[in-house]
Amino acid sequence: MDKSEKIRPCAVECRDLSIGHRDGRPLFRHLDLVLPKGEVTSLLGVNGSGKSTLIKTICGFIPPVGGEISIAGRRSCEYSREEMARTVGVVLTERGAEGGLTVYETVSLGRYPYTDFLGRMKAEDIAAVEQALEEVGIANKRDCHLSRMSDGERQKVMIAKAIAQNCPIVVLDEPTAFLDVAARIRTMELLRKISREGDRAILISTHDLDLALRMSDNLWIMSPDTGVIQGPVAEVVERGGLRYILGDDMETGRYASLYDTRR
Amino acid sequence: MRHYRLFIPLLYIALACVIIALATICMTTGAIDIPPSQVWAALTGGHVDNRVWSVIVTQSRLPQTVTALMAGAALACGGLLLQTLFANPLADPSILGVSSGAGLGVAAVMLASGGAVGSLAGTLSTVAGAMVGAMAVLALIIALSTVVRSNVMLLVVGLMIGYMASSAVSLFSFMGAAESVKSFSVWGMGDFGGVSLARLPYFVAITAAGLLWALLMMKPMNAMLLGESYCRNLGVNLKKLRVSVLLSTGLLTAVVTAFCGPVSFIGLAVPHMARLLTGTSDHRVLMPVVMLLGAAVALACNLLTTVFGEGNLLPLNVVTPLLGAPVIIYVIVNKRKIAYFN
């Protein structure tokens, strides 16, 4: 184990966090989580294990039931709406009515928290959008309507939006879900690249175990019994964390060892 | 965005020219044709050869033209706001039952007061009635939108609410005095000519306030296009935005409905025409174009009501569907080719 990885500055730190919807019982209690800067962390878990609740809580869409989240060294409840928009950027599977916007217009929306009430772009805003387009590699399609793009390209546009938002933390909900194999690998490569280049903390929720093992730095595995198992990929695999997504029974349990030997 | 730089200003200029041309035709033609120079003289207080011309221009044609202009802009803008809010290209104040709600409010006021809407107090209470009715329907739809997630189903719910309001209106008419029922059914056909010169400033002030309000929401409406979660992540106060859209659309719809009757199809069709024309959903470009185009379309509809001569004016709601419905059919047939659908 590389010691330096452990003391990397963290972007998000959850202490004694309980999550869940306000009306019901908390889904998880006493979570202590660390999201490191400059690295890609994959959040894995079976359906209904509370992945999206955790993600929504970290993004500030729903309040924590208990405990606290510290983002970039400050408690999340101290953030104003605008500060939060400049700190945590999201890429979701949700589709709106953005088909009539061009790539440039969509990425420009990432500058929303920085522009005046008419949304006028200053030189620095334009520069940030241009850089985001370059970083993701869709600058040549800037005038394309989103409706004319493939799912993979749309994903890239939304990632560029999050980069233009200039957030040190980017959270992606199943970014590879609708993509073919090549597009999945390209998306993960892109996320690795932007995590390194901007020292950004990237959190991905995914069902794609293979890609998560090969291309992310850390794993968060949600299991209803033991909470969240976290750490660098190799360490989590060594500790048998994969059991919680593959299951314990003979049929699927065998595959856990399969992934063990691969690393 | 860069290729808009020349096109959009040219579009604004072209639309302004069309509006001026249509307004000129509205002011000069009718039962009596008045030369443009004489119309100008009458408006600016210069010497007019015929005193009757001066009265016609200032008392009848000026209020009607200005009303059509403002009402068209207001209805089109209300349609755009609702289409973005519900992420549904078929949303519109008349389809969602907002106009019917306003109609119910107006019916209640008119029939209760025995059709006395001539006075200023009568007018203001009519506007208030329309406002209450429109808001009630919008609030109901917003509340139901948290339960009914499907936008198509929500439209159907809106239609049903509209039917219920219409049925209540029919009941009122059935029980009302013949005099007030007549004035209400004339109101129901739609007319830009119902605003007198004395009441015109009120109408213009309220619609202008609503339009300005809408213009101030251009930026968050753009974020809204991405969907609610993205919108929230960009720092938008969603609850406040929803209420703001609700109130401004309610105001625009209610004031137009109270003064001009339930005018159909302008709110539904004009945003589509504007999107097809500009090729974008960006509200900073779209919203001013929608307002200008709405004004132009309303003026054109107003002109078309006079095709059989000033003596037999067509009801406005005979003309607007003829202009609006083909646009919607075109848009639906060409759904796959049109960029703003997905």
Domain assignment present for residue B19? The answer is no
Please report whether residue B35 resides in a domain: no
Q: How many domains does chain A have?
A: 1
Query: Are the Cβ atoms of A108 and B1 closer than 8 angstroms?
Result: yes
Q: Does B45 reside within a domain?
A: no
User: What percent of the residues of chain B are helix, what percent strand, and what percent coil, each to the nearest 5?
Assistant: 75, 0, 25
Which residue do the tokens 């968060």 mark? A220
Q: Provide the residue type at B81 as one letter.
A: L
Count CA atoms closer than 13 A to B116's CA, side-chain side.
Answer: 7
The residue ranking higher by pLDDT, A186 or B288, is B288
Please list the residues that pair with A228 across neighbouring strands: A222
In a domain, A137, yes or no: no
B76-101 residue pLDDT tens? 999 999 999 888 888 888 888 888 89
Q: In this structure, which amino acid lies at residue A8?
A: R
Q: Are B227 and B272 in contact, with CB atoms under 8 Å apart?
A: no
Burial of residue B5 (number of CB atoms within 10 Å: 0-12, 13-18, 19+): exposed
Q: What is the CATH number of the domain that holds B161?
A: 1.10.3470.10
Judged by phi (left if over 0) then psi (alpha if -120 to 50, else beta), residue A42 lies in beta
Domain residues for B198? Answer: 65-333
Give the one of A95, A142, A145 whose C-beta lies nearest to B339's C-beta: A145
C-alpha Rg value of chain B to the nearest Å: 20
Low-confidence ranges of chain A (pLDDT < 50): 1-7, 261-263
Output the CA–CA distances (angstroms, integers) from residue B254 to A29, B138, B206, in the order listed.
Answer: 51, 11, 10
**pLDDT of res. B261:** 87
Which whole-number Å values give the CA distances from B277 to A248, B17, B61, B78, B272, in the listed order?
60, 16, 30, 19, 8
Q: Which residues of A56-88 are buried (b: 16+ CB within 10 A; e: fewer)?
A: bbbbbeeebbebebbbbeeebeebeeebbbbbb
Nearest to B227 among A95, A100, A119 (CB): A95
Q: What pLDDT sits at residue A263?
A: 44
Domain CATH number, residue A253:
3.40.50.300
B87 contacts A92? CB cut-off 8 A: no
pLDDT at B273: 94
Residue A76, H or E segment: none
Among B11-25, B137-151, B294-308, the minimum mean pLDDT is found in B137-151
> Could you tell me if residue A149 is inside a domain?
no
Please list every residue in chain B whose beta carbon sits closer than 8 Å to the beta carbon of residue A106: 226
Residue B229 and residue B195 in contact, taking contact as beta carbons nearer than 8 Å: no
Instruction: Print the domain residue range for A78.
Output: 8-94+167-262
Handedness of CA A172, A178, A179, A185 (dihedral sign): positive
Q: What are phi and psi of A9, to 5 degrees?
A: -65, 140
Provide the angle, in degrees to the nearest 10, between the axes of the packed helices B266-278 and B283-304: 130
Whole-Å CA distances, A213 to A38, A221, A257, B150: 17, 12, 13, 37
Going from the C-alpha of A14 to that of each of A30, A70, A99, the distances in angstroms are 9, 6, 37
Write the residue in B224, B229, B279 that is nearest to A94 by C-beta: B229
Tokens of B30: 């009718």
Residue B251 lies in a domain: yes
B218 contacts A97? CB cut-off 8 A:
no
pLDDT tens digits for B183-240?
777 878 888 888 888 889 989 999 999 999 999 999 999 999 998 889 999 999 988 8
**A202-206, B3-7, B130-134, B264-268: least confident range:** B3-7
| AA identity, residue B297 | V
Q: Is residue A143 part of a domain?
A: no
pLDDT digits (tens, 9 = 90+) for B33-60: 888 888 888 888 888 888 888 888 888 8
**Is the ipTM here above 0.90?**
no
Do A62 and A34 form a contact (C-beta atoms < 8 A)? no
Judged by CB atoms closer than 8 Å, whether chains meet at B342 and A95 is answered as yes
Rounded Cα gap, residues A200 and A192, in angstroms: 10
Q: Measuring CA to CA, how many Å separate B55 from each of A204, B42, B48, B143?
A: 72, 8, 10, 49
On whether residue B47 sits in a domain, the answer given is: no
The pairing of beta strand A227-232 with beta strand A218-223 = antiparallel
Residue A175 in contact with partner chain B when CB distance is under 8 A: no
Residue B309, pLDDT score? 64
Higher pLDDT, A49 or B281: B281
Average pLDDT score over chain B: 86
CB B231 within 8 A of CB B224: yes
On whether residue A108 sits in a domain, the answer given is no
In a domain, A79, yes or no: yes
Q: Give the mean model confidence (pLDDT) for residues B13-31.
A: 92
- A80, A84, A101, best to mutate vs chain B, most B CBs in 10 Å: A101
Higher-confidence position of A222 and B306 = A222
Split into its structural domains, chain B has a count of 1
Two tokens, residue B77: 């803008």
* Whole-number Å distance between alpha carbons of B339 and B342: 7
On whether residue B3 sits in a domain, the answer given is no
- Per the domain annotation, does A181 fall within a domain? yes
